[in-house]
């Protein structure tokens, strides 16, 4: 029952409630142990068109497949949460900004190369970093990653921006 309360029922990733709780704790850990962490916001490019062309069941399967790809290409300690619709947030504990950019680029390439059932999908990713000495909030970190994500979208999609 506890697991169900923190899980997105469609994708099997964590839900927004869990993300909010985890981010608050990670910011506290960051300050206490003097290490930073990174956050990636991911959006599936052109997902509405994919849904319109192939139907919502195909779109749902694509969302589940993206979460499987993320989990397969991340560490066990990393958190994958559905933020809304086709947007996901990945929290990378004890991960530098440079390393997070590398992880985001790997994810971008893995998704672009994956043979989805109804055609190619790409993702755009925005990366934010919370240094140990910063006083940050979950909302501020998400806003920073979101702004980077929208720069990636405006820059042509299928890219990583920090």
DSSP codes, 22-58: HHHHHHHHHHHHT--EEEEEEEETTHHHHHHHH-HHH
Cα→Cα distances 70→11, 24, 91, Å:
11, 22, 12
pLDDT score recorded for residue 1: 66
Helices 47-54 and 56-72: angle between axes, nearest 10 degrees: 130
Concerning whether 86 is annotated as a catalytic residue, the answer is yes
List the pLDDT tens digit at each of the 162 positions of the chain: 678 789 999 999 999 999 999 999 999 999 899 999 999 999 999 999 999 999 999 999 999 999 999 999 999 999 999 999 999 999 999 999 999 999 999 999 999 999 999 999 999 999 999 987 777 899 999 999 999 999 999 999 999 999
- pTM for the model stands at 0.95
Q: Considering 65, 86, 87, 133, which one is annotated as catalytic?
A: 86
Cα of first residue to Cα of last residue in the chain, in angstroms, is 37
Between CA 55 and CA 53 the distance in angstroms is 6
pLDDT score recorded for residue 134: 74
pLDDT score recorded for residue 80: 98
- Whether 16 and 82 have beta carbons less than 8 Å apart is answered as yes
């Amino acid at each position: 029952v506890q697991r169900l309360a923190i899980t997105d029922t469609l994708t099997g990733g964590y839900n927004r409630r869990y993300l909010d709780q985890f981010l608050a704790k990670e910011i506290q850990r960051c300050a206490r142990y003097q290490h930073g962490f990174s956050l990636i916001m991911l959006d599936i490019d052109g997902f509405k068109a994919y849904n319109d062309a192939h139907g919502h069941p195909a779109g749902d399967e694509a969302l589940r497949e993206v979460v499987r790809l993320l989990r397969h290409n991340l560490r066990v300690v990393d958190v994958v949460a559905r933020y809304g619709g086709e947007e996901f947030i990945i929290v990378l504990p004890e991960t530098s900004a440079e390393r997070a950019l590398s992880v985001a680029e790997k994810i971008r390439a893995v998704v672009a190369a994956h043979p989805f059932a109804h055609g190619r999908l790409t993702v755009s990713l925005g990366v934010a970093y919370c240094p140990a000495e910063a006083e940050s909030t979950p909302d501020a970190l998400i806003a920073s990653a979101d702004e980077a994500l929208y720069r990636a979208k405006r820059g042509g999609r299928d890219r990583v921006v920090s």
